[in-house]
A = this chain, B = another copy of it.
Amino acid sequence: MIGKLNHVAIAVPDLAAATALYRDTLGAKVSAPVPQPAHGVTVVFVELPNTKVELLHPMGEKSPIAGFLEKNPSGGIHHICYEVEDILAARDKLKATGARVLGDGEPKIGAHDKPVLFLHPKDFNGTLVELEQA
């Protein structure tokens, strides 16, 4: 069912510093910061040859990563995203096995303008998993 690893998302307390770290110290190709007000984050995309790392920084008062950064002030890996061909089929298969889909269970339009769902970390080895319809 799952296909490619679409991205690894890292929440960071200082986006400029994290961008410089990946660009200058690690020598990777990084994007300009992309504000995503609908998702409560500003994102810098780190382009690797086979996948992406996304550096996430809170935007606005209700950012979904604000609580994570309070608990992890240095930052940390927030979630990993796997691609699926059919997100509704994936959701129905997961729910049938007892896995919990976060929110109301309906796919939302994610940061890449594609339908996404998040799965409960307790059901996936303490890992917040995003599924994105490729």
Q: Using a CB–CB distance below 8 Å, which chain A residues touch chain B?
A: 1-5, 8, 10-13, 18, 21, 24-28, 48-51, 53, 55, 72, 74-77, 80, 82, 93-94, 97, 99, 121-127
Contact = CB atoms under 8 A, between A and B. Distances in A.
A26 B117 CA distance: 14
A125 B5 contact: no
A26 B1 contact: yes
A50 B4 contact: yes
Nearest to A49: B4
A126 B14 CA distance: 12
Contacts of A18: 125
B74 A121 contact: yes
